[in-house]
Amino acid sequence: MSDKPKQTADLAAAIKSLKGYLLEKGHRFERGPSYEGQSKTPSSVAETVRRYEGMGYTKYMQVGAPPVYAMLGRGHHEVHIFQPQDPKIREWLEDDRAALNDPAMREHMLQASGLSESELQAARKPQIFRITEVDDVFIITSEDAPPGRK
């Protein structure tokens, strides 16, 4: 019996859960620096995870074989490392002119995950998620949003 259907189901569930968490009301996305084409930058999720583990981060989960998503943390700081599987999301993230908090993209991510706005909770502690692109890998780091910032 193949583990492929289970891996596919696990990946879909992890992505749905991640998107639900990241899209909670009150969170914001901002662009971090881009490290395209620089030497010594990891070009896979697995390589990036190893690099973060070397900096003292703990890997909480990793999805896919080879991995396409991982979540790590150190203290209250969390890191999401991923390679987008949805071409529309990849294009949106790669377009430096695209608004990261675009309502149309938010709706696309909700629909693609089988979520609706009414299912999402307000973030217990609103955060800013900085998205950095490193060659073919995207890294989302979190920081607490300043009070009153929307």
Task: Evaluate whether 128 touches 114 at the Cβ level (below 8 Å).
Answer: no
- Per domain, the residue ranges of the chain are 4-144
User: 64 in the Ramachandran plot: left (φ > 0), alpha (ψ -120 to 50) or beta?
Assistant: left
Residue-wise pLDDT for 103-146, tens only, equals 999 999 888 888 999 989 999 989 999 999 887 899 999 877 66
The answer on pLDDT for 100 being more than 60 is yes
